[in-house]
């Protein structure tokens, strides 16, 4: 099995055609990496006896392979490997496939995306991008929490217009790099900010009245695109929902607006919010502000990215398997998965079905820990009384526990030493600063975290109705997507869906984990142990993921690592994701802080301590 000289000449000729036609032939970059095998192979020759993934393995093992071409859908680039020279040629045209002796663009939307790619190419050639970093934050207003900004606005120390304009400027500066905000409402936001300034000028009741009635008056806000925000798109990256516009506000968004917050726009998600990388064919892929070659997490990834890039100060996310916590971890910010049933999850797309409403939580995302509590008070609305958010917390009186890993799951990878060390540092600081003893515990049931999450996500509701199939959500109303057909279309670049969505629809038909008696037993045993351990005064430290933010599309080969967050959805526990500085590669480190049901105030108090101790959010553009 080898590529002969004729085929090499054909492919070389195609490369020349590509270079001459699009003038986008990028510089050769020396590399010895050979692990970028994503998506479906598009070969310069035909070998039809093997399915594409099997053929991948054979080609990798074949020492005499000289040239193959691969469409990996990675940052809209094609990677072409010379195995004998270990060189990579990068091109930047969208979804071009080198196949046989023809070269052609795929998809009707390609030409419309070329202009965006041209702009992105220019930006990525800047000094900041060459170092894979964003421009540093220059406006001092961007270093203030939402709580501080609201206070300054109420006191007329700064106008809401100034604050909103500062964030608009920052979004316009960084969004071409990170592609996080997919639709803005800047003009409307500035008008609303001007109205806020006028209201403050005319207010006669004083600052206290404004603080009590409008605690976030004049503060900018960003919103995950899966939440209804009146007048904004509500597609969750699905091409068939292009043009769908929200006519109302989702309850948490409405409550934040009622408290005075001003939405700036909506942010990117994974397709239908069911993958841990925010990438879809409607808006494209979002990039990590700490390293543009890394993922932002999902499904609230655009939200995490723009917050981490200092393009927003507070945001709204949702979480059914880690969709708040993973983006917060990867982007170095704070986020809180509330106890389920406290913050409304209505007017989101896609809606839950089966028993999924028991595991979905909406919650706050922000750069500064002090904003979590006031945001949660507002977002909880009439259910705020269920939480003891006004109770004082004495950290020295809490019981602390630590679980460093899941015990060796067959599905998830081991936790990296870097994250193990970061969590151990938290343990040592807690013991040194507070005089507490952090007890390390081990629950063998955690080894089945993915199986438990997968099985319980597929349970029927009280009436016996199963969850809506993912393929139905992918397709048009009444016409579910045929996953195998979409996979074939993907092989030739014709599918409207991302590879993770297609694979999920395929695997859903043969769900990996059934709600067997064994799995139910493991879940119930774990639930009992966790609730007994935490009680009303216990706090648990647990890794958010086995590794720091991976490179784009790498999760395709480690798809079950989200189980570290997903299991806590099934257990119904509140969790705050906290940043712990950056690691060896300059990427954020972090830890999950877990408490018993309805004890959200405990994890929020620990978040304040960890921010003070480890520094919290870091400017990704700082030297």
Higher pLDDT, 107 or 10: 10
> Is 172 a residue whose pLDDT tops 70?
yes
User: Which residue from 383, 293, 231 is spatially nearest to 76, judged by alpha carbons?
Assistant: 293
pLDDT band at 403 (very low <50, low <70, confident <90, very high): very high
Give the helix ranges, DSSP H, for 23-109: 52-61
**CA-CA distance, 268 to 284, in Å (whole number)?**
8
Q: Are 390 and 381 in contact (CB under 8 A)?
A: no
- Spell out the residues 6+ positions from residue 580 whose beta carbon is closer than 8 angstroms to its own: 422, 425, 426, 588, 589, 590, 591, 610, 614
Distance, in Å, from the CA atom of 325 to the CA atom of 315, rounded to the nearest integer, reads 13
Q: 355, 461 in Cβ contact below 8 A?
A: yes
The separation between the first and the last C-alpha atoms of the chain, rounded to the nearest angstrom, is 49
pLDDT tens per residue across span 458-471: 999 999 999 999 99
Say what the pLDDT of residue 210 is.
94
How would you classify the pairing of strands 334-337 and 25-30? Answer: unpaired
50-73 pLDDT, tens per residue? 333 333 333 333 323 333 333 333
Which of 145, 305, 318, 323 is flagged as catalytic?
323
* pLDDT score recorded for residue 368: 99
The pLDDT score that the predictor gives to residue 459 is 96
Does residue 377 have an active-site annotation? no
Contact between 136 and 622 (Cβ < 8 Å): yes
| pLDDT on residue 511 | 66
CA–CA distances in Å: residue 573 to residues 374, 379, 428, 592, 598: 20, 18, 25, 11, 8
Classify 194 in phi/psi space as left (phi over 0), alpha (psi -120 to 50) or beta: alpha
Q: What is the dihedral of CA 461, 463, 464, 468, to 10 degrees?
A: -50
Run of H or E including 501: helix 499-509
Write out pLDDT tens, residues 519-538: 999 999 999 999 999 999 99
pLDDT of residue 217: 98
Averaged pLDDT score across all residues of the chain: 84
Q: Which are the contacts of 464, defined by CB distance < 8 A and separation ≥ 6?
A: none
Q: What are the φ/ψ torsions at residue 217 (nearest 5 degrees)?
A: -60, 120
Of 272-281, 321-330, 490-499, the range with the lowest mean pLDDT is 490-499
Residue pointed to by tokens 């093992």? 61
The mean per-residue pLDDT over the stretch 552-568 comes to 97
pLDDT at position 10 is 46
In the chain, CATH 3.90.1300.10 covers 140-381+393-457+512-614
Max distance between CA atoms of the chain, in angstroms, equals 84
Helix (H) or strand (E) holding 233: none
Give the active site residue among 99, 224, 257, 523. Answer: 224
Q: Where are the beta strands (DSSP E) in 83-231?
A: 87-91, 96-99, 102-105, 181-184, 220-224
State the Cα–Cα distance between residues 252 and 250, nearest whole angstrom: 6
How much is the pTM?
0.82
C-alpha closest to that of 309 among 516, 145, 135, 158: 135
Question: One of 222, 228, 286, 299 is an active-site residue; which one?
Answer: 299
Token pair 């438990």 is found at 452
299 is catalytic: yes
pLDDT 10s digits, 373-400:
999 999 999 999 999 999 999 999 999 9
Task: Decide if pLDDT at 495 tops 70.
Answer: yes
pLDDT at 439: 99
3-state SS track over 545-560: CCCCCCECCHHHHCCC
In the sheet that 438-440 helps form, which strands lie side by side, from edge to edge? 181-184, 262-267, 220-224, 314-319, 361-366, 334-337, 575-582, 588-595, 538-542, 399-402, 438-440
Fold adopted by 140-381+393-457+512-614: Amidase signature (AS) enzymes (3.90.1300)
**20: number of CA atoms within 13 Å, CB side?**
7
pLDDT for the residue numbered 371: 99
**Is residue 346 pLDDT above 90, yes or no?**
yes
Identify the pLDDT of residue 201.
95
| 487: nearest Cα among 11, 39, 15 | 39
**Amino acid 26: pLDDT:** 33
Reported residue count of the chain is 623
pLDDT tens sequence across 77-124: 333 332 222 223 333 332 332 222 222 333 333 333 333 444 444 444
pLDDT of 215 > 50? The answer is: yes
Distance of CA 67 to the CA centre of its chain: 35
- Per-residue pLDDT at 353 exceeds 60: yes
C-alpha to C-alpha distances, 377 to 248, 389, 505, 565, 586, nearest whole angstrom: 21, 7, 37, 23, 34
Whole-angstrom distance, CA of residue 596 vs CA of residue 599: 5
Residue 37 pLDDT exceeds 90? no
What share of the chain in percent tops pLDDT 90?
Answer: 74
Q: How many CA atoms lie within 13 A of 597 on its CB side?
A: 14
Q: Are 318 and 300 in contact (CB under 8 A)?
A: yes
Q: Does the pLDDT value for residue 616 go beyond 80?
A: yes
DSSP 367-433: SSGGGHHHHHHHHHGGGGGGS-TTS---GGGSEEEE--S-S--SSSPPPPHHHHHHHHHHHHHHHHH
Question: For 511-518, what is the mean pLDDT?
Answer: 79
């Amino acid at each position: 099995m080898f590529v002969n000289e004729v085929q090499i000449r054909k492919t070389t000729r195609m490369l020349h055609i590509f270079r001459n036609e699009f003038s986008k032939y990028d510089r050769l970059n020396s590399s010895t990496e050979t692990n970028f095998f994503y998506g479906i192979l598009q070969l310069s020759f035909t070998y039809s006896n093997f399915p594409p993934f099997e053929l991948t393995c054979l080609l990798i093992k074949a020492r005499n392979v000289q040239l193959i071409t691969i469409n990996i859908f990675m940052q809209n680039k094609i990677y072409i490997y010379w195995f004998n020279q270990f060189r990579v040629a990068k091109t930047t045209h969208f979804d071009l496939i080198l196949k046989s002796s023809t070269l052609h663009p795929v998809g009707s939307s390609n030409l419309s995306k070329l202009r965006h790619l041209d702009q992105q190419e220019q930006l990525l050639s800047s000094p900041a991008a060459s170092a894979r970093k964003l421009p540093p934050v220059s406006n001092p207003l961007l270093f203030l929490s939402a709580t501080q900004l609201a206070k300054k606005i109420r006191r007329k120390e700064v106008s809401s217009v100034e604050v909103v304009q500062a964030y608009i400027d920052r979004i316009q500066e960084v969004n071409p790099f990170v592609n996080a905000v997919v639709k803005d409402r800047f003009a409307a936001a500035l008008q609303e900010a001007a109205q806020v300034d006028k209201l403050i000028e005319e207010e006669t009741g004083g600052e206290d009245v404004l603080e009590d009635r409008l605690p976030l008056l004049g503060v900018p806000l960003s919103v995950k695109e899966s939440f209804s925000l009146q007048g904004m798109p509500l597609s969750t990256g699905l091409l068939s929902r292009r043009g769908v516009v929200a006519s109302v506000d989702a309850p948490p968004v409405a409550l934040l607006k009622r408290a005075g917050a001003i939405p700036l726009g909506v942010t990117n998600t994974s397709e239908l919010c069911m993958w841990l990388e925010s990438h879809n064919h409607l808006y494209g892929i979002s990039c990590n502000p700490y390293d543009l070659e890394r993922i932002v997490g999902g499904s609230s990834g655009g939200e995490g990215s723009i917050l981490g890039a200092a393009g927003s100060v507070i945001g709204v996310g949702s979480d059914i398997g880690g969709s708040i916590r993973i983006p917060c971890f990867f982007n170095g910010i704070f986020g809180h998965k509330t106890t389920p049933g406290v913050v409304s999850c209505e007017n989101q797309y896609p809606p839950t079905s089966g028993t999924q409403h028991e595991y979905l939580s909406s919650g706050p995302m922000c750069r500064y820990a002090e904003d979590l509590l006031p945001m949660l008070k507002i977002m909880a609305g009439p259910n705020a009384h269920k939480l003891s958010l006004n109770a004082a917390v004495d950290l020295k009186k809490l019981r602390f526990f630590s679980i460093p890993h899941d015990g060796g799951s067959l599905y998830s990878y081991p936790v990296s030493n870097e994250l193990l060390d970061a969590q151990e540092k938290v343990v040592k600081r807690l013991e040194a600063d507070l005089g507490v003893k952090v007890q390390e515990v081990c629950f063998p049931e955690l080894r089945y975290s993915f199986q438990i999450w997968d099985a319980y996500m597929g349970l029927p509701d009280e009436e016996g109705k199963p969850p809506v199939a993912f393929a139905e959500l992918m397709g048009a109303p009444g016409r579910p997507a045929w996953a195998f057909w979409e996979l074939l279309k993907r092989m030739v670049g014709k599918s409207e869906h991302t590879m993770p969505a297609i694979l999920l629809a395929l695997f859903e038909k043969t769900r990996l984990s059934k709600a067997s008696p064994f799995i139910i037993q493991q879940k119930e045993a774990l639930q009992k142990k966790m609730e007994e351990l935490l009680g009303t005064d216990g706090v648990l430290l647990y890794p958010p993921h086995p590794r720091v933010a991976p490179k784009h599309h790498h999760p395709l080969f480690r798809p079950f690592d989200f189980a570290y967050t997903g299991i806590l959805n099934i257990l119904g526990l509140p969790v705050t994701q906290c940043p712990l500085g950056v690691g060896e590669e300059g990427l954020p480190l972090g830890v999950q802080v877990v408490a018993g049901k309805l004890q959200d105030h405990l994890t929020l108090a620990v978040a304040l301590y960890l921010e003070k101790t480890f520094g919290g959010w870091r400017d990704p553009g700082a030297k």
